[in-house]
Structure 1
């Protein structure tokens, strides 16, 4: 399992004129993670070079981490205010950025538990044959989708219990039984 920071949210859009942010949680432990004082690390979005190249915020640099001052549910999203973002213009520059926390700051998992993040880099195999490597996991409402690199092309497959034969973290393999023709779509 990777020691890389774990993605816990994506900034959906700004909210209000004082720099509020609406987050799409990518964790089922949002209540434990989104609390005042928590630092969330920016993984992508308009950070340093991107902000300068586009001339955003008068050439000012975007922060590399955000410190939550407030956080609450707002419909299905989290509405947060952060110390480093003072207005809507600065918040707009963060749209689409993903936020992460170090693995050691996550709540404990139950025995045998794992994070979807842990699947990235594993091979997907069917009947002993490697199909592709997991490059990303999209946590969708119905079922997570695995984005596989199959011969240089991305293929999305559902990560559903009835398709998974075995997860072997030591071997770095997800053994699956896929419906016929799924990879041809």
Structure 2
């Protein structure tokens, strides 16, 4: 199984280092020296990591054969892809690989359907589930223990206990905007009819 583990950012310095946007919970395993990664576009790789270090909170990597700023800049926006055994599990039983969470059904504790996980967004502060609702809209669910109370891989579902407004307010905001727009249009139509 192939997983996107990072995206190459800007070149750093003049010796071929690049910043990377990490998209894995295990960067030390997936992005360590010696790791060989496939790429998207495929023409950029495969790439072998020579060195890695953290600088000002950002991970910097240098790849074999990439020796100057121009070569590093040519890799910008390239996705780095690791081959992962689909049966492999994270060491911590409370951690999950992205591929395990994708397409899980999301339901509330009382069984109400929320939608389906279509993406996991890894932010510096926390991870987010991007959940597609049955009506095609999306809602963002923070992947924190207080909200995501259970991940059941056997049943292919994530159970959530959302705080008030996390899900409903997003729909109400859209609904109230539509109502306001319709009301404003009615006012315009009626004022036009008087003239």
Settle same-fold status: TM greater than 0.5. yes
1:121 aligns with 2:118: no
Measure the CA separation in 2 of the matches of 1:141 and 1:168.
26
Alignment of 1:22-171 (within 5 A): 22-42=19-39, 44=40, 47=41, 62-104=43-85, 109-111=91-93, 113-126=95-108, 127-150=110-133, 151-171=135-155
Structure 1: runs of 5+ lacking an equivalent: 49-61
Q: Which has the higher helix share?
A: 2
Length-normalised TM-score, structure 1:
0.75
Query: Which aligned segments of 4 or more residues in structure 1 are displaced greater than 6 angstroms?
Result: none
Give the RMSD, CA atoms, in angstroms. 2.6
Measure the CA separation in 1 of the matches of 2:52 and 2:89.
18
Q: Tell me if the contact between 1:117 and 1:137 (Cα under 8 Å) persists in the aligned partners.
A: no
Shift of 1:144: 0.9
The equivalent of 1:178 in structure 2 is: 162
Larger radius of gyration: 2
Length-normalised TM-score, structure 2:
0.71
Structure 2: runs of 5+ lacking an equivalent: 171-195
Q: Tell me if the contact between 1:135 and 1:149 (Cα under 8 Å) persists in the aligned partners.
A: yes
